[in-house]
Amino acid sequence: MKRLLSSLILPILSILIVRPAFADRLERLLEERDCNRCNIRNTDLRERYFRDAELRRVNFRGSDLRDADLRSSNLNRADLRNVDLRRTDLRGADLRQADLRFSDLRETLLDGNRLPPKWQRVWEIVNEPETARHLARIDLSEANLERSLLDGANLNEANLRRSNLRNIRLWEAQLNQADLRDADLFISYLREANLASSDLRDANLNWANLIGASLNGADLRDADLRRADLRGARLSCSETEDGDTDCTNLRGADLFAADLRGADLRDADLRHADLRQAALQSANLNRSDLSRLDLRGVDLENASLIESDLSHADLSLSNLEDANLTGADLRDANLMGANLSGSALTLQEANLAGANLEAANLSGIDLRGSHLRHGRFQGATLQRTNLEMADLRDTNLRGAQLQEANLQWSNLERSNLQEADLSGAGLFGANLRDADFRQANLSGADFSGANLDGIDLAEANLEGATIALESLHETRYCGAILPNGSPALPCDVRSRPEGW
């Protein structure tokens, strides 16, 4: 009980003690204008009169001093972090060694160079708009540059770490190798800016305009790029001065709903990035690492994904129409319901082993030589698909639509093709050892030269098919419609082997 009372009473007593003390300090400041080392944080002091006040080492952190009169006041070593100084009159004030990090200096009144050099430059940037400024290697860390105009500025190797750059204009600005870690670039305008090899780790680029920007070799790990416009942006590799290759690092970046249409993301590290609802039409993602990403419903139409790593990625319901997936690693990827159609789409030499392609649309595409072992194609559409020499061992193709598909020399050993439609399909030279075709539609299919050892054709439709049934035991095609259209003897379930 004593502990409970203490936990309730102590906070109340602290408020009763602290509030009067704070009020005394504030009254002293307002009346006597003398408050050395006072702590007056987060206070509304708009339009207050502090002319000639003694304010050495005063803590004004987070306070609102808009339109206040601080002429000739002593603010030496004062803490003015996050203070709103818009239209504040600081003429004649002593601001030596004052801490002005994140303070808003827009329209602040000064006479001469009253501010420390760094903050004098910040004041000039926010109050004297000018294009093509030369600011290379400058230290503007933790500065408030919100809404500033820096189009065409040279900020190469500049230190902008943790700076407030919200709504800033940096059109065609040079920010090569700039330090922008933790910088706030919300709604910033960086169209066609050069950010090559810049450090943007943990930066906020939410809603930023990065159309045509160069981000080659930039480090964007854990950056927030939600709804950013990156159309035509370049995010591939760049060559360093040492001759090494520096590739863009987007590991853990938040690209939710970002517009990356036509963006160059070659060799980019996108592991753990959030690309949900991102627009990636015509993007170049060759050799990029997209493994294990959530790409559900993402639009990748006409995207280039040559040799990209999409293993274990979730691409369900995604649009991959006309995408180039040559040599892509799609092992164990989820492509359920994905659109993989289009005359230009290619999956040649792609590795789809263990991939889930249930109900996916793969009609008419080129899958020659693809690795599809253990794949799940239940109900998938593969009409006129080229699967020549594809590895389809242990694959589940139950109910798949394979009309007129090219399966010549493919390996379908132990695959499940129950109830699949392979009418008119070409299976010349295919390995069908122990494959299950029960109740499949095989009318007009060509089995010439195929390995039929252990095949199960029970109750299948073989009308018009080219197949050597004489080598099979009758139980292997019982209940089937034979090539000449006549029915085979019905199956005796008691003598049938157990299904696949």
Give me the torsion for CA of 426, 428, 429, 432, rounded to 10°.
50
Overall size of the chain counted in residues: 500
% of the chain exceeding 90 in pLDDT: 73
Kindly write down the DSSP assignment for every residue of 112-166, as one continuous string.
Answer: SS-S-HHHHHHHHHHHS--SS-B-TT-B-TT-B-TT-B-TT-B-TT-B-TT-B-T
Which CATH number does the domain housing residue 499 bear?
2.160.20.80
Q: Which is more confidently placed, 271 or 154?
A: 154
Q: Is pLDDT above 70 for 25? A: no
Lowest mean pLDDT, pick from 333-337, 368-372, 424-428 = 368-372
Q: Is the pLDDT of residue 446 over 90?
A: yes
Judge contact between 218 and 234, C-beta under 8 A: no
Helix/strand/coil for 247: strand
Domain's final residue, options 128, 163, 192:
128
Please state, in angstroms and rounded to a whole number, the distance separating the CA atoms of residues 143 and 159: 10
Task: State the pLDDT at residue 33.
Answer: 63
pLDDT score of 470: 83
Mean pLDDT of the chain: 89
The answer, yes or no, to whether residue 10 has pLDDT greater than 70, is no
With a pLDDT cut of 70, the percent of the chain lying above it is 90
Question: At residue 77, does pLDDT exceed 70?
Answer: yes
> What is the C-alpha separation between 468 and 432, in angstroms, rounded?
13
Q: What is the pLDDT of residues 465-496, one digit of tens each?
A: 999 888 787 778 999 999 999 999 998 753 44
Per-residue pLDDT, averaged over 247-269, amounts to: 90
Residue 179 in domain: no
Residue 346: predicted pLDDT: 84
Residue that terminates a domain, selected from 108, 128, 148? 128
**228 located within any domain:** no
pLDDT in tens, 341-385: 887 888 888 898 899 999 888 888 888 888 899 999 999 999 999
pLDDT of res. 27: 64
Q: How far is 106 from 124, CA to CA, in rounded Å?
A: 9
The token pair at 115 is 């501010």
Structure token digits, residue 9? 């009473």
**Are 64 and 40 a contacting pair, CB within 8 Å?**
no
Asked if residue 72 belongs to a domain, the reply is: yes
pLDDT of residue 29 exceeding 90? no
Tokens 């003694």, located at residue: 54
Q: Which pLDDT does position 20 carry in this prediction?
A: 52
Q: Which amino acid is at 132?
A: A
Please give the full DSSP string across 20-42, using - where no structure is assigned: HHHHHHHHHHHHH-B-TT-B--S
At 7, which helix (H) or strand (E)? helix 2-32
- Average of pLDDT values for 25-47? 78
Give the whole-angstrom CA distance, residue 37 versus residue 310: 59
Whole-number pLDDT of residue 31: 64
For residue 91, the model assigns a pLDDT of: 94
Angle CA 146–26–119, to nearest 5:
30
268 within some domain:
no
Q: Residue range 401-418: average pLDDT?
A: 97
3-state secondary structure of 23: helix
pLDDT of residue 143: 97
As a whole number, mean pLDDT of residues 88-111 equals: 94
Residue 24 burial (10 A CB sphere; 0-12, 13-18, 19+): exposed
In this prediction, residues 31-37 reach a mean pLDDT of 70
Residue that the structure tokens 């889930």 belong to: 356
Residues 6+ apart with CB under 8 A from 123: 105, 108, 110, 115
Q: Residue 339 falls within a domain, yes or no?
A: no
In a domain, residue 107? The reply is yes
CA 107 to chain centre: 39
Q: Is 4 helix (H, G, I), strand (E, B) or coil?
A: helix
Phi, psi of 122 (to 5 degrees): -60, -45
Say if residues 237 and 257 touch (Cβ distance below 8 Å). no
In the numeric block, the tokens 């690309």 are attached to 275
For the chain, how many structural domains are there in total?
Answer: 2
- pLDDT of 151 strictly over 90: yes
DSSP 74-108: B-TT-B-TT-B-TT-B-TT-B-TT-B-TT-B-TT-
Is there a domain that residue 98 lies in?
yes
CA quadruple 256, 328, 341, 294: dihedral, nearest 10: -20
Q: How far apart are CA 36 and CA 20, in angstroms?
A: 18
CB 250 within 8 A of CB 221: yes
What is the pLDDT, as a whole number, of residue 371? 87
Tokens representing 210? Answer: 């990065």
Residue 247, both tokens: 């590739």
User: 128, 145, 160 — which closes off a domain?
Assistant: 128
- CB-based burial of residue 465 (10 Å sphere; 0-12 exposed, 13-18 middle, 19+ buried)? buried
For residues 101 and 121, is the Cβ–Cβ distance under 8 A? no
The amino acid occupying position 279 is A
Check residue 81 and give left, alpha or beta (phi > 0: left; psi -120 to 50: alpha): beta
Domain residues for the domain of 483 are 407-500
Confidence at 30, pLDDT banded by 50, 70, 90: low
User: In degrees rounded to 5, what are phi and psi of residue 237?
Assistant: -100, 155
Alpha-carbon distance 474 to 457, whole Å?
10
The pLDDT tens digits of the residues spanning 113-131 come to 678 899 999 999 999 999 9
Tokens of 8: 């309730």
Residue 348 domain-assigned (yes or no)? no
3 φ/ψ angles, rounded to the nearest 5 degrees? -65, -40
